[in-house]
Every structure is written in structure tokens, then in C-alpha cells.
Amino acid sequence: MAAAAVVRGIGSNLSKNLREVRLHLCQISAASQGTRDFIEQHYVTLKTANPEFPILIRECSGVQPVLWARYGFGKEHSISLDNMNADQVAKALESVVNAKP
């Protein structure tokens, strides 16, 4: 699966530029299905490789799925994960990991 490869690629580098990652998703909507799948399948791998890094998963009914990335000095960046599948979510995560704040 492409997502698994991306997650392997990220490895333990979550904290390279980032300070915190937040995933907002809806528990049941179709638009959040990809995000839900991503968490279901890859969260454990990601967390095991980055045990001290905060990956806040915040489920809330009716919200649009969003990936929030916080860098140093409070700078934040968000990416909408609306209707993305798990692979695309992984790619979005990869992009914020590698982006310089």
C-alpha cells in the first residue's frame, strides 16, 4: 500500500520540523473515511516510531477532516483531507513533515 510506504519513509522524522500534529475527523461521514482508514492502519506504526511526538487525534461529529501541523514559534499550517483516501492522507502528512516552517 502506498500509505505504508510513505509512513515507513517518514520513520522517526516527525519531530524534525514539527512540534505537533492534529488530525480532525468525523466518526461516520464518508468524507472522513480515508482519514479513519489511515488512523486504523498506520497510526500504531507511526506512533511506535515516534513515541514522544504528540499526534492528537480528535474525533468530532460533522467536522471536515483536516490535518493541522504546528511548527516552532507557534506557526501552524492546515491541509484539508476532505474525501481523500488513506494514501492521499499519508502524502499530506509527508508534505507537512518535510516542509520548512
**What is the Cβ-side half-sphere exposure of residue 71, based on CA atoms within 13 angstroms?**
12
Residue among 6, 14, 24, 38 that touches another protein (CB under 8 A): 24
State yes or no: residue 93 binds another protein (CB under 8 A): no
Regarding 30 and contact with another protein (CB under 8 A), the answer is no
For residue 39, state whether it binds another protein (rule: CB under 8 A): yes
Q: Is 77 in the site for another protein (CB under 8 A)?
A: no
N residues, the chain: 101
Return the range that interacts with another protein (CB under 8 A); candidates 1-9, 39-47, 79-87, 90-98. 39-47
Please report, as ranges, the residues that interact with another protein according to CB under 8 A. Answer: 19-20, 22, 24, 27, 39-40, 43-44, 47-48, 51-52, 54-61, 63, 68, 70, 72-74, 76, 78
